[in-house]
Structure 1
């Protein structure tokens, strides 16, 4: 098929690129002031593309892509200068040479370069420069994109490299053997067919959320699923107030705390996603990805293949990767499953089951009971008390180590059998408190106390008391007549 042949050729070109996100991301909303500088080398003729054609490419097609993909939140504005023949050869070129010489020529032609934040350099194939496309940050903080060769003078290529300037990583795919997250999986670069950072079409929902085009003020929402239920997602390409994607918790890295989510979105072959028409089931089912925001704000997204190993050719295998109507995907480890109930031109309906969230930890004061002898004792006697502690925290709390303390009258001794009791919510335990009164203590009722504390703070501070009665020294004697 002609479309498949064209796609494969472009994919092959993409695989040859060397690009990485900029150290400082560009503004992702509003007007992006951009200058396009066309440069030629001393040892080659200028391409046949006219400045007017390339101006329309950048400020027409590329800007239109960003306007549509951002739900009308960003666009490019500016001017195109050149062609300029710079004193550099195709075999000796570097990005810094192209930028400095191109800027010098554009300024001489009347360009006010200080008014631009983004610079796009287009030039014929130069073997001395990185093949395909790339970008960096210039000496004045400007974002620079370099497109090497007329094969890269396309909306997709320029939009892709500008995506890196916005801080996006490549959108990859996960190639597994027996299932979407099968026994053996390989992350394959550039294989997210339905994303300009890997193939063609709109950036995926994970990427758009990072850009502030989804789930931000004035932007369409993403529904974060926290409870099982039936959810609707609108078609992805057009503005609206309904959810454009579902975001479902998948896992948390125990070492770093980084969260991974499932992102579900429903594409239609319209606008800049029209290129997806006829590519398997990518516009008839729900596309499923994982997204992880890693250290430093760098994000990784992976398109999952819901029908793994259906085609021996990797580039084609992902084309039927969407989850079709009536099909269910389950992740037992995450306690998650979702089923596509229906899909039409306007959106899709998905049933989602998620594990019940853990109960919240609600702390409460422990219950303390201190019991001991009920009859009076002689001064200097030893009495044994029992201290019982009950943990009344909610079931969502972990076990608590309660520290125990005792109080006895001055000159008396009191020894706890245990100074700590570790209890789970709803459980109880006890220890002894052995008290020896002073041999000189007078007849009276004395207070013996016990208390608790824990690292949870004041909520676990509690106390209990009991009585130690000392009998009168004449108690029990007969009266002489």
Structure 2
């Protein structure tokens, strides 16, 4: 029986090792439980995964591929956990995915050979029934309360009455099982602060300053080669030239707060061939070994790497160095020249992740989606380049370059002026960004990246922070547009609305200040009873010759007396000023749909459109109406893949500039499905083409508070209600609870929510229109006074968030 068990464990081992690589979270779930493992024969245990709980160095290397080289996002990050004399390949998930290099960090998980599945939290609660192994010292002081506990002795099994945790090899008995959650939260806060909190390794020269990226950055640039290579990777002058440009970039990007000095070494030759290092990479961290030996060889020539903050190795080829450069900790590996790769990889040593893009799948800019690594093409930490590709304002704030007094953090609705941040100095009294919390996870960051030119010269960029990467996620506020991210900013006159948070941002206009600035209106609801504006649109002519002009006049009003903004969107990509009257000259023969959106800047809009025929264009239009429950549906985007149009307040649209023949049309609006009343693809003919659609029923979800909980008294409750199809379970996503009260120690939910990545979920059962969740206050002896619980709906693509999307509960004590 033992031999058979050992044989099965041996056969399982390579499969489990592969699972660690592909799905570390599942590997941890499938790992043999400790209460089972402790009773297995040694011959079987020897073939199982090995538990790891230790303190060590986490080395995170993030890469930049050479131009034209396509790599997946997961190929641009490598992690090693150096502990117990082993260089583990750290496979992480969830909250650890964006943590940068750290020294002396506790971690736990399981390993097979060098492959390690790392748990999200270093705190491991011991299982009930798990015995304390011989020789283990069990600490009996609860680190949460400071009280002495009745520790479990060696050989004894843990019970519900003796909650015990393991952290970095230390075994500690707690006085209260709820303190496991407290310890997990403390670790989560600490480890997240290690990366997103600021720079990773550089220490400034100014005593008393808190930033770790202010002062002089001392760089050692080592030019390295292998014994078999006949040429150097570059010349000393090329290296110095690149570093001079990098010094200028950092001086300007940091507003003069970080200078850079560099020593370039003469050529050093590594002691082994490239093939040797590639082979060695299967046993140890090959990148780290190249760096260590490059430093050692440079030291022989009189260059002491310990006297520098950042050590750059310039080399051609090697393990994981074919067409990719890396940075992490104090180490940088460069495999081609130019300043962009240096600015990027040194950014990783500054503690910056990749500047990413939030790629949504639900038709919104803000909702359900996934990370697109490297996706912010306007930031050098994404795919940007040149002196204007500044780190974004999220990174600049974290590095201490953009202090809080230079950033709007609005507490009230209003109009805020933001100046272009991509310039070499800050000026007293000016603000260079706007940041405001959306929920307990996400923050909105509005910035003006004027120096990049193009559409960015007249629009505000929108970024999420809090979604993992400490360099933020670019949002495309015009999802589905032909310009993709390139036209994803908020153009002048346009309102970007986040309906699930009832937040609205409008760029009112651009100012000829120094530097240039944008006026941004920020309004956050609720706005009960808000009435959308009404509008009509008139064109002075609809048929003109090439080089002719048309004056467009909008007549709009708002029953609530709200100020109005005007966004003009021509389907050829042209825009216009925020004005009720605009005149445009059409220089080329074409057929163009002019679309107007009038906004009250609080979520209410009115759309109108008109088709302009310029010369003998030979193009055709498709017109139609889209209804939902027999009512016109505004804001539906209709496209043939090239041209686009939006339905107006009457539910009508005009898709113009089409060729005759087959055209496949799509209609999209978050939360709705659409059924065409025509044969799709539509055969477009010369003359009249009509294509109507009917929108399917959507599910709307609201969140409302029923009652507040009272300690020692009645429970509170809140209700999730859906309107629409109730035939199946509906998983509703919420942000993790916020407020001053702490879940578990101050209150509990029944039913409790489940974890869904960074979010939490409740489930409304099939056949039910609502779910009532009880909030019970924990009755303790501490007099804490009233505390709050905040909860907010989030998207997952299966429903729409209606106007009731957040609650605040007060826990009475």
Secondary structure of 1:282's aligned partner: helix
- 1:371 aligned residue: none
Secondary structure of 1:263's aligned partner: strand
Taking the TM superposition and a 5 Å limit, the aligned residue runs for 1:63-74 are: 63-74=247-258
2:299 and 2:716 map into 1 onto residues whose CA distance is 75
* 1:247 paired to 2:439: no
Normalised by the size of structure 1, how large is the TM-score? Answer: 0.63
**Structure 2 residues without counterparts, runs of 5 or longer:** 1-64, 80-99, 104-199, 203-212, 278-285, 528-704, 718-778, 787-813
- 1:40 aligned residue: 225
- 1:22 aligned residue: 101
2:101 and 2:246 map into 1 onto residues whose CA distance is 19
Taking the TM superposition and a 5 Å limit, the aligned residue runs for 1:433-472 are: 457=783
Structure number with greater CO (CA < 8 Å, separation at least 6) is: 1
- 2:447 aligned residue: 265
Taking the TM superposition and a 5 Å limit, the aligned residue runs for 1:32-181 are: 32-47=217-232, 49-58=234-243, 60-93=244-277, 94-126=286-318, 129=321, 131-137=323-329, 143-147=330-334, 149-150=335-336, 153-176=337-360, 179-181=363-365
Q: Relative to 1, partners in 2 of residues 1:192 and 1:458: Cα closer, same or farther, differing over 3 Å?
A: closer
Q: Relative to 1, partners in 2 of residues 1:175 and 1:348: Cα closer, same or farther, differing over 3 Å?
A: same
1:208 and 1:111 map into 2 onto residues whose CA distance is 31
Contact 1:202 1:237 in 2 (8 A): yes
For residues 11-61 of structure 1, the C-alpha deviation after alignment (integer angstroms, 9 at most, x for no partner) is 646866446732260231111111000001122232463112202212x11
Contact 1:81 1:106 in 2 (8 A): yes
Secondary structure of 1:289's aligned partner: strand
For residues 151-174 of structure 1, the C-alpha deviation after alignment (integer angstroms, 9 at most, x for no partner) is xx2211111111111111111112
- 1:351 aligned residue: 521
Q: CA deviation at 1:459?
A: 8.2
Q: Relative to 1, partners in 2 of residues 1:29 and 1:356: Cα closer, same or farther, differing over 3 Å?
A: farther
2:496 and 2:348 map into 1 onto residues whose CA distance is 32
1:99 and 1:208 map into 2 onto residues whose CA distance is 28
Q: CA deviation at 1:348?
A: 0.5
Q: Relative to 1, partners in 2 of residues 1:122 and 1:244: Cα closer, same or farther, differing over 3 Å?
A: same
Q: CA deviation at 1:193?
A: 0.8
Contact 1:62 1:155 in 2 (8 A): yes
Q: Relative to 1, partners in 2 of residues 1:61 and 1:132: Cα closer, same or farther, differing over 3 Å?
A: same
* 1:323 paired to 2:490: yes
Which residue among 457, 481, 484 is the counterpart of 1:310? 481
Contact 1:267 1:284 in 2 (8 A): no
Contact 1:401 1:454 in 2 (8 A): no
User: RMSD between aligned alpha carbons?
Assistant: 3.4
Normalised by the size of structure 2, how large is the TM-score? Answer: 0.38
Secondary structure of 1:61's aligned partner: helix
Contact 1:310 1:317 in 2 (8 A): yes
- 1:277 aligned residue: 453
1:108 and 1:9 map into 2 onto residues whose CA distance is 32
Which residue among 289, 297, 304 is the counterpart of 2:463? 289
1:455 and 1:89 map into 2 onto residues whose CA distance is 68
Secondary structure of 1:306's aligned partner: coil
For residues 344-393 of structure 1, the C-alpha deviation after alignment (integer angstroms, 9 at most, x for no partner) is 45111001102379xxxxxxxxxxxxxxxxxxxxxxxxxxxxxxxxxxxx
Find the structure with the greater CA-based Rg.
Answer: 1
1:322 and 1:186 map into 2 onto residues whose CA distance is 19
- 1:208 aligned residue: 396
Count residues in correspondence: 339
Contact 1:91 1:129 in 2 (8 A): no
2:374 and 2:479 map into 1 onto residues whose CA distance is 17
2:251 and 2:71 map into 1 onto residues whose CA distance is 23
2:784 and 2:398 map into 1 onto residues whose CA distance is 41
Contact 1:233 1:348 in 2 (8 A): yes
Contact 1:225 1:248 in 2 (8 A): yes
Contact 1:90 1:128 in 2 (8 A): no
Contact 1:32 1:77 in 2 (8 A): yes
Q: CA deviation at 1:333?
A: 1.8
1:72 and 1:124 map into 2 onto residues whose CA distance is 33
Which residue among 330, 333, 352 is the counterpart of 2:500? 333
Secondary structure of 1:299's aligned partner: coil
Q: CA deviation at 1:84?
A: 1.9
Contact 1:36 1:120 in 2 (8 A): yes
Contact 1:329 1:338 in 2 (8 A): yes
Contact 2:392 2:471 in 1 (8 A): no
